[in-house]
Structure 1
Amino acid sequence: MAISLLSFPAKTLTTTTTPISEFPNNPKTLILEQCKTLNHLKQVHAHLIKSSLVLNPKIAENVLESSAILLPGSMDYALAVFRAIEEPQAAAYNILIRGFTLKQYPEEAVLLFKEMRENDVEPDKFTFACILKVCSRICALKEGEQIHAQIVKFGYGSHGFVQSTLIHLYAKCGKVDVARRVFDELPERGIISWNAMFSGYLKSSHWEEIVILFQEMLESKVGFDEVTLTTVLTACGRLGKLDLGEWIHEYIEAKGLKDNLKLITSLIDMYAKCEKVDTARKLFDKVPRRDVVAWSAMISGYSQSDRCREALNLFHKMQMTKVDPNEVTMVSVLSSCADLGAFETGTWVHSFIKRKRMKLTVTLGTTIMDFYAKCGSIENSLEVFEEMPSKNVLSWNVLIQGLASNGQGRKALEYFSLMREKGIKPSDVTFIGVLSACSHAGLVDEGRDFFVRMSIDYGTEPRIEHYGCMVDILARAGLIEEAYQFIKSMPMEPNAVVWRTLLASCKVHKNIKFGEKSFNHIVKLDPKNSGDYVLMSNIYSSVGKWEDALRARCQMKLQGMKKTPGCSLIEIDGAIHEFFAEDNAHPRSSEIYDAVENMMKRIKSSGYVPNTAEARFDAEEDDKEASVSHHSEKLAIAFGLIRTSPGTTIRISKNLRMCTDCHNATKMISKVFHREIIVRDRNRFHHFKEGSCSCNDYW
């Protein structure tokens, strides 16, 4: 760590000489409690100089404490007071070191400690504790290690207070194993030492070690406090250790700690992360005065449990309470907006962040990027990326994956090249994005090349996800047999997802032979997934093998499985509307179905022909055309047409892959109604405009 010279000049003292009529013999209270401004202190100081009382080290230290710690903006004066002390001892150095630390000049505190040692002033336990805190703050590991040696030299190696700050230093600097050795060598461990070790594990995300350490603490019969329990509850949430979390909850109830907001907030967070979101909400509702941390914990709980609507509803309630959200709140809300495709709400949140001038951290910036990318607004995602003052590999991954899924595969590869030019090492997730870009853009040769190079050039061994991407690249391009042989040659056992990837492409390319092979492998690995039976049935239907198609459907029903219903979401005026195929649940369903009928008539007159092979399997022949016209995305699009102004972009999110008929129909709707329509299905984004789609019919 490079440390500059002291920036505060040792100015000559100038004091106001206003007389003080009654000056106490012991002016400590006057100096430390009654001097509210620097001018007040200067008056007292002048009297002390004239009366020679300032020569008393204790009184001089009182003046130093007032100027260095108690009064704002007076460090230059404090340094001048310090320089006027003829032979300052450890107490004076300690005060000035604390002052530099409190007023955000940690480097100056380190320099002052060095000066103290050069002047042969012996530090005490308070000196070491304070300077170690400074080193922790600026991660000055080298200086901290030197101070550790001096702690041993001066005999403070077993002092709990000093050792606790030493533990904290090593943990903060990423040396958690060294911190643990210091902890283990302590002859007596007080609660401060235990909590320092807990804090170290917390900062390093060593969740399992926190739980083990807590068990040791209980066995050692050492009392614990709020700080301990808060840390352990955090670990319980990360590890899903509900039983220990519930034990702590019972302890809090038994000890009458229900009014401790920090503990209750930690409980809310723990229950939410352990998938007990309703229990967390009951606790949350009982909190009389909720701060931003409590609100954020509950909103985050809903978001992480895929209960995104409830997350947004709670955020709206939070706004009514006038509690200002923080970065954690914004990240959870934006993540929920991304999952729901709630573009309007997320855009408002982004503008709110700008209005509040919240710092665009890597985490917040990357979340905003991800939100825009998942709502099909990749231009906005790119804009945020360029605005971010600092980026990490996750930021680049989100951009590359976003470009890939939004039909800009070649641009995704350009940004991968730029990432390498900037010296950022790609992660294994980066290559999932790169291979996805090749898959969506049909870049087979490029995909093969990246797959080989990722281990040779970048030292990243392919995981099963990368093999799955490679299967997708080959199978999408119609190289079904090559994809099958690639799976058979994998060094690890292929999972159901890999085989399912091949099965999906067999449906697109109407390949029964390898479709059946894929399906047979899938049912052995994941026999209860209804979507696989539907896919196989659709492959048979696509080539007119109706009896085989019916047999696949019957097998599904015999095992008690039901087809996952298609569901599409659309946001209108900040509210999320949900549609299922042939659904009448919406309060304006009559109006929506009239709009669908009108929409289908208009696109038919422009050349659209319904693909009744995509109709509900049990639909009668006369009803098949109506069945395909009532798919969930068509209902959502019709609702968007009647509820938004002409020319407004319509954004739809769907839980399943978009069918061929809906894809063809939406292309025609975009042309006839002069609308851009963005559909996010299970695999990618489709940007429909003037009769064409960004996927180039390759999905």
Structure 2
Amino acid sequence: MYGKCGVISDAQKLFDEMPNRNVITWNSLMTGYLHARFADVLIKLFIEMIMLGISPTHFTVSTVLVGCSELKTLELGEQMHCLSTKFGFLSNVVVGTALLEMYWKCSNVEFSCRVFDDLPNKNVVTWTSMITGYSHNQQTDKAMKMIRKMIFLGHKADSNNSITYNTLLISFCDPKDMIYCEQIHCSVIKEGLQSDLHLAVTLVTVYSQCGSSLDDFYKICSTVPIKNNISCNAIINGFSNLGNGEEALNFFKQMRQAGIDIDFCTIASILKVIGNSSLFDEGRQIYALVIKSAHDSSMNIANGLISMHAKCGKIDEAKFIFSSMVDHDTISWNSLLSGYAQHGYAKEAVKVFEQMTKTKVKVKPDLATFLIMISACSHVGWLDKGLEYFDLMKNDSSLQPLTGDHYACIVDVYARAGYLNEAEDIINSMSIEEGPAVYRALLSGCRVHENKEIGLRFARKFAGRYPDDPAAYVQLSYILATDGYWDDSAGVHNLMCGRGIKKRAGCSWI
């Protein structure tokens, strides 16, 4: 009782005063610590219990496995697997489900799948956990196969909370996942779950993340059963993801007129919309609303205001908001740095970066920080400074591995400065797969510096690897035209049209 009511200290006192304890007593205390999110204490209690010679039950093992999942301690989880085998607990569906969940939460999906296949008894929770494991580890294809098999064998999703479908849907975030999203949506309708608010909100989010058409998105929005703060925030974010800032603002106005409460998520979303659309007049109104609703003390909102002002070109206002903040996090610094970088203030960006690294409450630069700084150097042609930041980032062992965007940025630094051979060497030495952005950066440099040899070689390689990307054909056509090969240039353009590939039209806010 004390454990479930969150008074874990009283639970511990009562435990200590008990003259006699059995395995149920230990299980109760360990469960209390698990609910209180003290998984490390749970593990210590379990070890103490084993050393006292008290044999665990299947409930003990499943509880400890959940603790291993929270702590992501794979080694201890593997020892619990051995213990489960020794005591014959693997036939228990609760232990089996906790075990496979521990493996995928520790990023070992292969072992999780082995446990699943070996389980003699499986229920809908077991299936859902395995589907979740695939989803969380970006193995969407396997997750879809699993859910098809689950439905075929007669295991239906829980009609009360729709955990299975919701779990799978939130893993979709790419246009290639749209077909999967539509299939799950069909199953939701077929099983009569479309009135579930959580599922409806998830569908709104996922359709926008996967780049649906506006018509489809409007239809999805119309199926949301209740318009409340959560569903309205999802719809505003959806319009923002689809690049339709005007509709996002219109819906925000409707939300206000309907008397639906706003929170910091609403304001953060609308600030992002305004920044991306450069609608500064609306931004000033939202700024007034932030102060009126007393959300200006929130660091997240302040960061959004810095980013919004910076994207709208109001750098002095962004700096003023930054200076008025009591505390800053990495996002605060990155928002200000990004504003300087986007508008060509490379010197100011360098000063702010140095201030960031020397501040008393030191905020460590992350991968996004270095990407901003290298980009700032690229725009003003500072090759040496850009390389300095790239080396700092690459040699920092505390950072995550570099992404394609970081390599694309350093290739852009070399290419803009005319060092095309060095840019080519960077691409050839990459330890990860080259993304489209890397090719675009090099080809842009080849076009500016009229290097037909490298340009043709990489444009053909680009078109072969990413045949649906219009940039490959456009750059190749430009390079050929620059060198006087008009017929070949026209041939590339015709090939692009024949494949139904269209270049997205550019626009200006001026």
Structure 1 residues 420 and 257: CA distance shift in structure 2, 3 A: closer
What do the CA deviations read for 1:446-484 (whole angstroms, capped 9, x no partner)? 1x224422432322789999xxxxxxxxxxxxxxxxxxx
Q: Given residue 367 of structure 2, which amino acid in structure 1 is its aligned partner?
A: E
TM alignment of 1:90-109, pairs within 5 A: none
| Overall identity of the aligned pairs, in % | 19
Deviation at 1:124, TM superposition (A): 2.7
Instruction: Identify the match of residue 449 of structure 2 among 406, 409, 419.
Output: 406
1:487 aligns with: none
| Whole-angstrom distance in 2 between the partners of 1:216 and 1:132 | 27
| Whole-angstrom distance in 2 between the partners of 1:27 and 1:207 | 53
Tell me, yes or no, if the aligned pair for 1:341 and 1:374 is still in contact at 8 Å. Answer: yes
Instruction: Identify the match of residue 171 of structure 1 among 204, 208, 222.
Output: 208
Higher relative contact order (CA 8 A, sep 6+): 1
| Whole-angstrom distance in 1 between the partners of 2:65 and 2:139 | 17
| Whole-angstrom distance in 2 between the partners of 1:138 and 1:187 | 22
| Whole-angstrom distance in 2 between the partners of 1:130 and 1:369 | 43
Structure 1 residues 390 and 354: CA distance shift in structure 2, 3 A: same
Which is worse superposed, 368-377 or 102-111?
Answer: 102-111
2:365 aligns with: 325
SS at 1:458's partner residue?
Answer: helix
What do the CA deviations read for 1:473-522 (whole angstroms, capped 9, x no partner)? xxxxxxxxxxxxxxxxxxxxxxxxxxxxxxxxxxxxxxxxxxxxxxxxxx
Tell me, yes or no, if the aligned pair for 1:408 and 1:437 is still in contact at 8 Å. Answer: no
Q: Given residue 384 of structure 1, which amino acid in structure 2 is its aligned partner?
A: I
1:334 aligns with: 374
The answer to whether 1:397 aligns with 2:440 is: yes
| Whole-angstrom distance in 2 between the partners of 1:416 and 1:143 | 32
Structure 1 residues 374 and 115: CA distance shift in structure 2, 3 A: closer
Which is worse superposed, 288-297 or 141-150?
Answer: 141-150
1:376 aligns with: 418
SS at 1:124's partner residue?
Answer: coil
TM alignment of 1:487-526, pairs within 5 A: none
Q: Given residue 327 of structure 1, which amino acid in structure 2 is its aligned partner?
A: L
| Whole-angstrom distance in 2 between the partners of 1:452 and 1:274 | 39
Instruction: Identify the match of residue 383 of structure 2 among 333, 343, 363.
Output: 343
| Whole-angstrom distance in 1 between the partners of 2:180 and 2:464 | 35
| Aligned positions, number | 434
Deviation at 1:265, TM superposition (A): 0.8
1:299 aligns with: 337
What do the CA deviations read for 1:93-138 (whole angstroms, capped 9, x no partner)? 6677667766888777767756664564553356524542334315
The answer to whether 1:236 aligns with 2:301 is: no
2:406 aligns with: 364
1:216 aligns with: 254
Tell me, yes or no, if the aligned pair for 1:401 and 1:437 is still in contact at 8 Å. Answer: no
Instruction: Identify the match of residue 199 of structure 2 among 162, 178, 182.
Output: 162
| Whole-angstrom distance in 1 between the partners of 2:478 and 2:43 | 65
| Whole-angstrom distance in 1 between the partners of 2:378 and 2:427 | 16
TM alignment of 1:413-424, pairs within 5 A: 413-422=456-465, 424=467
SS at 1:228's partner residue?
Answer: helix
1:631 aligns with: none
| Whole-angstrom distance in 1 between the partners of 2:490 and 2:46 | 72
SS at 2:496's partner residue?
Answer: coil
| Whole-angstrom distance in 2 between the partners of 1:248 and 1:255 | 10
Structure 1 residues 94 and 26: CA distance shift in structure 2, 3 A: farther
Tell me, yes or no, if the aligned pair for 1:401 and 1:434 is still in contact at 8 Å. Answer: no
| Whole-angstrom distance in 2 between the partners of 1:228 and 1:272 | 20
SS at 2:268's partner residue?
Answer: helix
| Whole-angstrom distance in 2 between the partners of 1:452 and 1:114 | 47
| Whole-angstrom distance in 2 between the partners of 1:226 and 1:422 | 42
2:162 aligns with: 128
What do the CA deviations read for 1:649-684 (whole angstroms, capped 9, x no partner)? xxxxxxxxxxxxxxxxxxxxxxxxxxxxxxxxxxxx
SS at 1:336's partner residue?
Answer: helix
Q: Given residue 156 of structure 1, which amino acid in structure 2 is its aligned partner?
A: L
What do the CA deviations read for 1:422-449 (whole angstroms, capped 9, x no partner)? 464563686357535754xxx33x1x22
Tell me, yes or no, if the aligned pair for 1:69 and 1:99 is still in contact at 8 Å. Answer: no
What do the CA deviations read for 1:272-320 (whole angstroms, capped 9, x no partner)? 1111111011001122222111111111111112222212221222222
Deviation at 1:225, TM superposition (A): 1.6
Q: Given residue 308 of structure 1, which amino acid in structure 2 is its aligned partner?
A: A
Structure 1 residues 26 and 126: CA distance shift in structure 2, 3 A: farther
Q: Given residue 337 of structure 1, which amino acid in structure 2 is its aligned partner?
A: C
Deviation at 1:24, TM superposition (A): 5.1
| Whole-angstrom distance in 2 between the partners of 1:41 and 1:109 | 34
TM-score (norm 1): 0.54
Structure with greater proportional strand content: 1
SS at 1:310's partner residue?
Answer: helix
Structure 1 residues 155 and 404: CA distance shift in structure 2, 3 A: closer
| Whole-angstrom distance in 2 between the partners of 1:39 and 1:48 | 17
| Whole-angstrom distance in 1 between the partners of 2:29 and 2:134 | 23
| Whole-angstrom distance in 1 between the partners of 2:444 and 2:284 | 39
Tell me, yes or no, if the aligned pair for 2:169 and 2:202 is still in contact at 8 Å. Answer: no
TM alignment of 1:39-50, pairs within 5 A: 40=45, 46-48=55-57
Instruction: Identify the match of residue 289 of structure 2 among 247, 251, 255.
Output: 251
TM alignment of 1:648-663, pairs within 5 A: none
2:31 aligns with: 31
Instruction: Identify the match of residue 274 of structure 1 among 282, 296, 312.
Output: 312
Structure 1 residues 27 and 40: CA distance shift in structure 2, 3 A: closer
| Whole-angstrom distance in 1 between the partners of 2:464 and 2:138 | 36
Tell me, yes or no, if the aligned pair for 1:68 and 1:95 is still in contact at 8 Å. Answer: no
Instruction: Identify the match of residue 220 of structure 2 among 133, 157, 182.
Output: 182
| Whole-angstrom distance in 2 between the partners of 1:356 and 1:46 | 47
Q: Given residue 194 of structure 2, which amino acid in structure 1 is its aligned partner?
A: G
TM alignment of 1:17-96, pairs within 5 A: 21-23=21-23, 27-33=27-33, 36=40, 40=45, 46-48=55-57, 65-66=66-67, 72-73=73-74, 74=77, 77=81, 80=90, 81-82=92-93
| Whole-angstrom distance in 1 between the partners of 2:244 and 2:206 | 16
Tell me, yes or no, if the aligned pair for 2:481 and 2:489 is still in contact at 8 Å. Answer: no
Deviation at 1:257, TM superposition (A): 1.9
Structure 1 residues 63 and 156: CA distance shift in structure 2, 3 A: farther
Instruction: Identify the match of residue 490 of structure 2 among 452, 457, 480.
Output: 452
SS at 1:137's partner residue?
Answer: coil
| Whole-angstrom distance in 2 between the partners of 1:67 and 1:100 | 19
| Whole-angstrom distance in 2 between the partners of 1:147 and 1:200 | 19
Q: Given residue 370 of structure 1, which amino acid in structure 2 is its aligned partner?
A: D
Deviation at 1:174, TM superposition (A): 2.8
1:679 aligns with: none
| Whole-angstrom distance in 1 between the partners of 2:196 and 2:351 | 51
| Whole-angstrom distance in 1 between the partners of 2:135 and 2:456 | 47
2:5 aligns with: none
Unaligned ranges ≥5, structure 1:
1-19, 466-699
1:695 aligns with: none
Tell me, yes or no, if the aligned pair for 2:480 and 2:488 is still in contact at 8 Å. Answer: no
Tell me, yes or no, if the aligned pair for 1:136 and 1:172 is still in contact at 8 Å. Answer: no
1:630 aligns with: none
Structure 1 residues 195 and 279: CA distance shift in structure 2, 3 A: same
Tell me, yes or no, if the aligned pair for 2:440 and 2:471 is still in contact at 8 Å. Answer: no
Structure 1 residues 390 and 24: CA distance shift in structure 2, 3 A: closer
TM alignment of 1:422-441, pairs within 5 A: 422=465, 424=467, 427=470, 431=474, 435=478, 439=482
